[in-house]
Structure 1
Amino acid sequence: MAELSDALASLTARARKTLLRPPEPLSRRRVYVIIGAIVGLGNLVGNVVVNREALKPIDLAFMVATLVLVTLIPLRPVPSVMAYLACWVLLLLIPSADFADMTITNLAFLFFLGRFFPPWPAFSMLLTTLLIEAVLLMSLSSPGNEIANSLGTLWYMALMGALLVPLGALVRFIEASRLADAEQADAQLEEMRLEIAREMHDLVAYSMSQTALRAQRAAADTSYPDRARDEFTALEATASDALHELRLLLRTLRRPSSEQEQSVSTTTGLGNAVTDLTIAVGAVSADVSSAGFDITYRHLGEVVPTRIQASTLSRVAREMGANIIRHGDPHASVTMTLSLGPEVIRLVSTNRVRDTSAHLPRSGTGILGMRERLAAIGGTLTTLSDNGSWMVTATVPVAESRPILLTTEKNS
């Protein structure tokens, strides 16, 4: 008795789990809704074409009902399947109704059984349906041709069930396998992202902190000349600014991707770090000048970029400045021009290469990173070399709607 009670409790729990199981995402069910609607319409149109005379109201009612039910099965599998089975039983019980009213929709119904239910419940429903159909057909049929027709209908349903229910189960298994593979890949990417965050924190952030601290101490040491102390102060400011942005980025990298509903530039706060693009580019030109280059910085136009445009272009300007310091000839003039509108925002830098006999800088990770940043906001990056000179141009289209003016925000 206790074993029977446990078995009933297990069956009840399984039934409750099946009934209360949350539906799959609509994006994965939409194609099956379309399939159900097409099959239901095909059943209706096919019966109208085959039966030249006017359909009886009872037949038309069954065809419309099955059209609605096979369309709803992907959305609400359990109640829709129960309703469809009830409709099928009614069709068998009503003498004036025709079996052909649900012939085509039965195919979609059997396929959906295998697709939206686990194998055991799907085959159990199929066997139950065939058993009920056999009992009703045998009990309601009279001797003669009607019995042969009833057996033909039963065998047809059994054959289609043996083909379509496993086909639906196979599709279910394939989609579940693909989803599991995607989840495994996401988990691996998540672990890789966390590992990168840990390494950057332990190595890069530590080194930058030490650099900023030592530069601060050197700037406060009166034994150094004033010019050297100014350089140490500038170095401390640069390292502290980079360290701040690195920590914001690490905070985002450590956050689970499922919680990152906004872009990285928004979640890190980097999109708000730049309050004035002209000042940001001017600061880059000042860094280049401090490195010993004769640079001319100009800005034209009055178009106000969006936050993400200002943030992206400021980082592109930093990479341009770094490339100038790394590869440029300090004895040649350098230019950096920012054009704000009217149709595009354009940032151009020109310089000569330190050694004209050497190859010009290639499109390595720095150039690639600038291209990727600009492509994310619809911009482009072009490079040009001519007789030892190097020019880089970043172009971003002006937003159609006027953005809100940039304001300074404090980070907590």
Structure 2
Amino acid sequence: MAELSAAITSLTARARAALRRPPEPLSSRRIYVIIGVIVGIGSLANSWVLVGTLPTLGDLIIMLVASIIVTLIPLHPLPGALAYLCCWTVLLVIPSADLADMTVTNLAFMFFLGRFFRPRPAISLFLTTLFIEVIVLAIVATGDLANSLGSVWFIAVLGALLIPLGALVRFIEASRLADAEQADAQLEEMRLEIAREMHDLVAYSMSQTALRAQRAAADPSYPDQARDEFAALEATASDALHELRLLLRTLRQPSSTQEQPVSTATGLGGIVTDLSTAVSAVSADVSAAGFEITYHYRGDAVPTRIQASVLSRVAREMGANIIRHADPKAPVTMTLTLGPEVIRLVSTNRVRNTDAHLPRSGTGVLGMRERLATIGGTLTTLSDDGSWMVTATVPVAESRSTVLAPSEKRP
């Protein structure tokens, strides 16, 4: 019993909160505007097609006005409801009018009362509708009392059925919106937690690495070759730290204020302006690590900004894998082909130990595949007798080609 009571209390509180929520944006009410239009058409069909008689000019005007007002209620609930009550009053006052002219629109009106008004205003408007009908019929009714009471009873039944139905729809939609907002809040908290952890752990360690490498590069007690290596390490760490800080800044921003994807908002998409230069820089890093590398560049297609950004990072990962796994005594090649149909980046090398297993599709390869998949590209790997080849392929975007002089560079 205690669990049932707690469940009922929770459901009651949730329903109360849902019914008291402020109105949703106008853009989310379009479906109800469409319902209003359908109801208006149904009102005309009810008098014309189903009954089999053409409505009089007065009836037609009333039905059209009622249909238009019902359509506007989802957009402006209170003015629309008051205007509908005025239209209903006019229909009741006209002696020759047929109350059936607004029967169909009354269905939508009662439903909209429950959907777009909190319980107290909805009930107040409903009782006002009944009060107007009772007063007007008592004053101007010329038929028997039974028909007048039947009409009032019919409106009362409509309200008793449709207003709770509209309130139920309001509750369901508000509950779904609350669940979505709760999920968004949890994602926001998770994102901020990731940003804090990355800042406290990764960014700190990276900044310390860059600082120590900088000090070592300036220490005259080290040989010149070692100082050059420290300087290159400091530059690489500083560049990675800069990109990490851009990413952390974006992660700390609420998602509601982000007008661009993370890859664009961080500025990462704007770092690479020339893909060939970016790949050449990677090959230069590999060469500085002690490898004999040849870089080939050919073709005249121009990658898009996002393609250049993704492929430059794929090239970095290729270079990192070469430094970690390749045999420094064997030649290495990196080839960038721009067009005509695809942009292809290929790296080849021999593994450090031919008896060891060749590199597997681990985190690095998986990351390259995932990056390329976001722009419709693919990654393939091939091993043969101790050699390792990785190929990244991206289709050329149409209308993004220009003439460039083919070149071949060797660091």
Partner of 1:15: none
Partner of 1:307: 305
Matched ranges for 1:130-141 at <5 A = 130-141=130-141
Partner of 2:41: 41
Following TM superposition, by how much is the alpha carbon of 1:230 offset from its aligned partner in structure 2, in angstroms?
1.5
Following TM superposition, by how much is the alpha carbon of 1:241 offset from its aligned partner in structure 2, in angstroms?
0.7
Q: State the one-letter code of the partner of 1:116.
A: F
Matched, 1:28 2:38: no
2:379 counterpart (354, 377, 382): 382
**Contiguous gaps of at least 5 residues in structure 2:** 1-20, 404-411
**Partner Cα separation in structure 1 for residue 113 and residue 353 of structure 2:** 73
Matched, 1:275 2:270: no
Q: State the one-letter code of the partner of 1:337.
A: T
Q: SS at the partner of 2:96?
A: coil
Matched ranges for 1:150-229 at <5 A = 150-229=148-227
Q: SS at the partner of 1:271?
A: helix
Partner of 1:126: 126
Deviation larger for 104-113 or 350-359:
350-359
**Partner Cα separation in structure 1 for residue 70 and residue 350 of structure 2:** 71
**Partner Cα separation in structure 2 for residue 267 and residue 118 of structure 1:** 41
1:341 counterpart (339, 342, 349): 339
Where has structure 1 moved over 6 Å in runs of 4 or more? Answer: none
Partner of 1:245: 243
Following TM superposition, by how much is the alpha carbon of 1:226 offset from its aligned partner in structure 2, in angstroms?
2.0
CA distances 1:44-86 after superposition (whole Å, capped 9, x unpaired): 1221113433320111111111221121111111111111111
Following TM superposition, by how much is the alpha carbon of 1:266 offset from its aligned partner in structure 2, in angstroms?
2.9
Following TM superposition, by how much is the alpha carbon of 1:22 offset from its aligned partner in structure 2, in angstroms?
7.8
Q: State the one-letter code of the partner of 2:237.
A: A
**Partner Cα separation in structure 2 for residue 404 and residue 75 of structure 1:** 51
Q: State the one-letter code of the partner of 1:188.
A: Q
Following TM superposition, by how much is the alpha carbon of 1:389 offset from its aligned partner in structure 2, in angstroms?
4.4
Following TM superposition, by how much is the alpha carbon of 1:104 offset from its aligned partner in structure 2, in angstroms?
0.9
**Partner Cα separation in structure 2 for residue 364 and residue 150 of structure 1:** 80
Contact 1:33–1:72 under 8 Å retained in 2: yes
Deviation larger for 148-157 or 382-391:
382-391
The number of aligned residues is 382
Partner of 1:5: none
Following TM superposition, by how much is the alpha carbon of 1:222 offset from its aligned partner in structure 2, in angstroms?
2.2
**Partner Cα separation in structure 2 for residue 360 and residue 36 of structure 1:** 67
Call closer, same or farther: CA 1:386–1:404 in 2, change over 3 Å. closer
Identity %: 74
Following TM superposition, by how much is the alpha carbon of 1:115 offset from its aligned partner in structure 2, in angstroms?
0.8
Call closer, same or farther: CA 1:404–1:385 in 2, change over 3 Å. closer
Q: State the one-letter code of the partner of 1:151.
A: L
**Partner Cα separation in structure 2 for residue 165 and residue 354 of structure 1:** 76
CA distances 1:185-230 after superposition (whole Å, capped 9, x unpaired): 1112112212211221121111111111111121122222222122
Q: SS at the partner of 1:303?
A: coil
**Partner Cα separation in structure 2 for residue 368 and residue 98 of structure 1:** 72
Partner of 1:53: 53
**Partner Cα separation in structure 1 for residue 349 and residue 42 of structure 2:** 70
**Partner Cα separation in structure 2 for residue 249 and residue 241 of structure 1:** 13
Q: State the one-letter code of the partner of 1:74.
A: P
**Partner Cα separation in structure 1 for residue 146 and residue 359 of structure 2:** 85
Partner of 1:408: none
**Partner Cα separation in structure 2 for residue 70 and residue 288 of structure 1:** 71
Partner of 1:290: 288
Following TM superposition, by how much is the alpha carbon of 1:317 offset from its aligned partner in structure 2, in angstroms?
1.3
**Partner Cα separation in structure 2 for residue 392 and residue 258 of structure 1:** 39
Call closer, same or farther: CA 1:368–1:176 in 2, change over 3 Å. farther
**Partner Cα separation in structure 2 for residue 26 and residue 194 of structure 1:** 31
Matched, 1:72 2:69: no
Partner of 2:62: 62
Contact 1:381–1:392 under 8 Å retained in 2: no
Following TM superposition, by how much is the alpha carbon of 1:340 offset from its aligned partner in structure 2, in angstroms?
1.5
**Partner Cα separation in structure 2 for residue 109 and residue 368 of structure 1:** 57
Following TM superposition, by how much is the alpha carbon of 1:330 offset from its aligned partner in structure 2, in angstroms?
4.1
Call closer, same or farther: CA 1:172–1:358 in 2, change over 3 Å. farther
Q: SS at the partner of 1:325?
A: helix
CA distances 1:3-50 after superposition (whole Å, capped 9, x unpaired): xxxxxxxxxxxxxxxxxx985324421111111111111111221113
CA distances 1:156-191 after superposition (whole Å, capped 9, x unpaired): 211121111111111111111111111121112112
Call closer, same or farther: CA 1:102–1:302 in 2, change over 3 Å. same
